[in-house]
């Protein structure tokens, strides 16, 4: 085989192609459809932070946040503000009424990535025996000048509560802690919805509220910055959960990738 030999040229092309494949077939996918996946999140096991292991699922069309109560479609991830907006497909909104459904997070999730303080849970059509109308009345508040009456009179779906009962059924704007400590059955309200970015909804009617749950995460820097600066991808050992800096498909380091 010589340099001019066609088989040598083919062989060379094959080697270059294989190297290209190895470089692009990274261990940690950085996108799910059009949503960027960066630390601390990951869709491949061993990538990202172990605290967020098994929390995301990437399907052919969507990215989901997994909790014990279901899979919630991720709408956006803001890595600067450290927030994730998810949507509960079984909750009610301005255009659809659906029977209540618990929103349950694991203990780890409620500590590492809880709903943000500017996310409000709205319990609707509560029975007069509901704890939030009695002993726990103080858990309800009006947000940004909005009241339940306004909700029941504005959207097609919520108007139904007015129409079907002659009175205005009670409702309650509350925080995630209320639904965390009391299940929907205990709360005794037939429907719920959730609204985020509530601080910017002053003077904005329910038709234009942002329906969904905004989660807010925070993690101490566990050495990821150093690894990323050296060109690595942050991950962890799937057995020990110890930090790993993934330098290439064949090399992992405990801190950084050095200056190769
Ligand atoms: C490097 O770490 C990743 C993530 O834990 C793992 O999938 C991979 O097999 C490791 N590679 C080596 C060469 O140890
Ligand atoms: C992730 O989604 C796929 C298909 O959408 C599904 O088959 C799989 O069971 C899901 N995994 C988890 C852990 O929910
Ligand atoms: C509102 O709640 C009552 C029970 O408290 C229930 O009978 C009624 O069907 C609910 N309304 C709607 C629209 O689901
Ligand atoms: C919320 O607003 C309604 C109507 O404006 C009012 O009747 C109610 O007392 C307010 N509730 C609280 C807890 O401030």
Atom 10 of ligand 2: nearest residue by CA position: 57
**Residue 209: both structure tokens together:** 């509220």
Q: What would the pLDDT profile of 162-190 be if each residue is shown by its tens digit?
A: 888 777 889 999 999 999 999 999 999 99
Counting from 1 in the atom list of ligand 3, the atom nearest the Cα of 160 is 13
Give the model's pLDDT for residue 79.
96
Phi-psi region of 133 (alpha: psi -120 to 50; beta: other; left: phi over 0): alpha
Q: Decide whether any atom of ligand 2 lies within 6 Å of the 218 Cβ.
A: no
246 within 8 A of 39, measured Cβ to Cβ: no
What is the pTM assigned to this prediction? 0.86
Q: Decide whether any atom of ligand 2 lies within 6 Å of the 228 Cβ.
A: no
Give the model's pLDDT for residue 56.
97
Phi, psi of 219 (to 5 degrees): -140, 140
The Cα-based distances of 102 to 30, 69, 95, 141 in angstroms read 31, 7, 20, 21
Measured in Å, residue 144 CA sits from the centre of ligand 3 at 27
Q: What would the pLDDT profile of 70-119 be if each residue is shown by its tens digit?
A: 999 999 999 999 999 999 999 999 999 999 889 999 999 999 999 999 99
Q: Decide whether any atom of ligand 4 lies within 6 Å of the 142 Cβ.
A: yes
Atom 6 of ligand 2: nearest residue by CA position: 59
Give the model's pLDDT for residue 21.
44
Give the pLDDT band of residue 5 (cuts 50, 70, 90).
Answer: low
């Amino acid at each position: 085989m010589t340099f001019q030999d066609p088989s040598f040229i083919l062989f060379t092309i094959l080697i270059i192609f294989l190297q290209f494949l190895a470089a692009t077939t990274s261990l940690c996918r950085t996108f799910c459809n059009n949503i960027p996946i960066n630390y601390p999140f990951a869709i491949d096991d061993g990538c990202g932070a172990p605290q967020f292991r098994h929390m995301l699922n990437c399907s052919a069309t969507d990215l989901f946040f997994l909790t014990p109560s279901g899979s919630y479609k991720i709408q956006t991830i803001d890595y600067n503000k450290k927030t994730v907006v998810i949507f509960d497909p079984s909750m009610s909104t301005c255009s659809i009424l659906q029977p209540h459904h618990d929103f349950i997070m694991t203990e780890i999730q409620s500590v590492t990535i809880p709903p943000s303080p500017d996310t409000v849970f709205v319990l609707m059509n509560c029975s007069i025996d509901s704890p939030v109308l009695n002993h726990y009345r103080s858990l309800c508040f009006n947000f940004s000048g909005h009241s339940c009456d306004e909700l029941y009179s504005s959207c097609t779906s919520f108007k139904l509560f007015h129409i079907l009962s002659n009175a205005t059924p009670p409702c309650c704007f509350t925080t995630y802690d209320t639904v965390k400590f009391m299940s929907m059955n205990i709360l005794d309200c037939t429907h719920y919805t959730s609204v985020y970015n509530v601080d910017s909804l002053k003077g904005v009617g329910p038709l234009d509220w942002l329906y969904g749950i905004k989660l807010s995460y925070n993690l101490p820097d566990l050495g990821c910055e150093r690894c990323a600066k050296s060109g690595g991808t942050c991950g962890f050992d799937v057995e020990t959960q110890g930090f790993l800096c993934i330098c290439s498909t064949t090399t992992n380091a405990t801190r950084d990738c050095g200056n190769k």
